[in-house]
């Protein structure tokens, strides 16, 4: 980090990130005080934004890190920690524990020796996550693995996630599958339909753009290597359409290339999955995307 963006990050947090050896990108934006609002201003899915919830265990802080779309399961945390008197912390308690941060902006690092940190599995993945940056106007983009290596939180199921099942009688917008291999396209659609997901397959980028304009899909599964244009070029064109700018999308590709991963992340990809695909992993990603879109 350099220049004005670096100056936006509190110095104590800069020192902490340097101590842990965590590379990061600082983002400056209008003031936000909640994880869901942060996801909105960052234009990313709430599954990639860390919500920080503090609990009070007999006067000591417990930090639970979970996706912005979820809510903490206090009973579950009580059971795991063996703390029957555990409760949600008050704003005054949080302010007393973390005097250098404004409420709602505490970054998830070991800021106190008595701080216990728990991670809900729903936030664990291979890409970037967005963290609060100590101030309402600043957030940090870090690789999950770098943050995890630095913090070493306890990992488990500590959150209640929104259901991905559509409400009865509601017509679900389709998931658009953009894959030029007809057999793969058919198999992907069949896999999702077995899970109750409405989907539509197309084999070319221009066809996908027209379909997206007409039907505004709930999500897009995108191969990078299409016959008429690259998948990333298709996304760039899609982003120019105001009403289609926020459609979540997942890359499905045989290209296991770091440059392609990075470019996909820069354009807002929610996941980058390489072939051969693991069916259950793909289904889980799609269901979480749909749940996030409804949250």
The answer to whether the peptide bond before residue 276 is cis (omega within 30 degrees of 0) is yes
For residue range 19-41, list pLDDT tens digits in order: 999 999 999 998 887 888 888 78
- Give buried/exposed letters for 37-66 (b at 16+ CB in 10 A, else e): bbbbebebbbbbbbbbbbbbbeeebbbbbb
For residue range 102-131, list pLDDT tens digits in order: 778 899 999 999 999 999 988 887 578 999
Tell whether 165 is covered by a domain.
no
Q: How confident is the model at residue 167 (pLDDT cuts 50, 70, 90)?
A: very low
- Asked whether residue 154 falls in the same domain as residue 190, the answer is no
For residue range 217-264, list pLDDT tens digits in order: 989 999 999 999 999 999 889 888 766 767 888 999 888 888 888 888
Tell whether 166 is covered by a domain.
no
The pTM of the full predicted model, rounded to 2 decimals, is: 0.58
For residue range 232-243, list pLDDT tens digits in order: 999 889 888 766
When pLDDT is averaged across residues 172-195 and rounded to a whole number, the result is 87
Q: How confident is the model at residue 2 (pLDDT cuts 50, 70, 90)?
A: very low
Q: Which position has the higher pLDDT, 95 or 284?
A: 95
The per-residue pLDDT of the chain, averaged, comes to 85
* pLDDT score of 47: 81
pLDDT at 10 over 60: yes
Cα dihedral angle (217, 159, 144, 265), rounded to 10 degrees?
A: 10
- Asked whether residue 183 falls in the same domain as residue 63, the answer is no
Q: Which of 109, 126, 160 is the last residue of a domain?
A: 160
Tell whether 169 is covered by a domain.
no
If one counts the domains in the chain, the total is: 2
Q: Which of 160, 192, 207 is the last residue of a domain?
A: 160
Domain that includes residue 238, residue range:
175-294
CATH number of the domain bearing residue 285: 3.40.50.2300
Question: What residues contact 199, with CB distance under 8 A and at least 6 apart?
Answer: 174, 175, 176, 177, 188, 189, 192, 193
CATH number of the domain bearing residue 95: 3.90.960.10
Tell whether 53 is covered by a domain.
yes
Phi/psi of residue 57, each to 5°? -110, 90
- Asked whether residue 107 falls in the same domain as residue 220, the answer is no
Tell whether 62 is covered by a domain.
yes
Phi/psi of residue 33, each to 5°? -130, 15
Helices (H) and strands (E) in the chain, counts: 11, 15
* pLDDT score of 32: 83
Tell whether 202 is covered by a domain.
yes
- Asked whether residue 154 falls in the same domain as residue 33, the answer is yes
Q: How confident is the model at residue 294 (pLDDT cuts 50, 70, 90)?
A: low
pLDDT at 279 over 50: yes
- Asked whether residue 41 falls in the same domain as residue 149, the answer is yes
Q: Are 228 and 204 in contact (CB under 8 A)?
A: yes
């Amino acid at each position: 980090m350099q220049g004005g963006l670096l100056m936006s990050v509190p110095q104590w947090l800069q020192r902490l990130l340097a101590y842990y050896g965590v590379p990061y990108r600082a983002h400056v934006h209008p003031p936000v005080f909640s994880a869901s609002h942060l996801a909105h201003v960052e234009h990313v899915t709430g599954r990639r934004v860390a919500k920080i919830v503090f609990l009070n265990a007999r006067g000591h802080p417990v930090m639970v890190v979970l996706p912005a779309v979820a809510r903490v399961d206090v009973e579950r945390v009580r059971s795991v920690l063996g703390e029957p008197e555990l409760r949600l912390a008050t704003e005054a308690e949080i302010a007393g524990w973390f005097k250098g941060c404004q409420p709602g902006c505490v970054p998830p690092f070991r800021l106190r020796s008595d701080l216990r940190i728990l991670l809900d599995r729903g936030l664990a993945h291979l890409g970037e996550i967005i963290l609060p940056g100590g101030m309402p106007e600043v957030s940090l983009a870090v690789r999950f693995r770098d943050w995890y290596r630095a913090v070493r939180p306890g990992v488990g199921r500590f959150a209640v996630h929104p259901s991905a099942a559509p409400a009865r009688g509601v017509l679900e917008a389709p998931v658009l599958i953009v894959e030029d291999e007809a057999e793969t396209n058919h198999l992907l659609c069949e896999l999702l339909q077995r899970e109750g997901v409405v989907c539509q397959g197309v084999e070319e980028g221009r066809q996908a753009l027209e379909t997206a304009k007409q039907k505004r899909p709930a999500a897009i599964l995108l191969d990078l290597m299409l016959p008429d244009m690259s998948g990333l070029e298709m996304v760039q064109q899609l982003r120019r359409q105001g009403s289609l700018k926020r459609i979540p999308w997942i890359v499905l590709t045989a290209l296991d290339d770091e440059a392609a991963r990075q470019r996909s992340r820069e354009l807002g990809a929610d996941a980058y999955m390489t072939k051969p695909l693991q069916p259950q992993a793909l289904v889980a990603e799609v269901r979480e995307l749909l749940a996030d879109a409804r949250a």
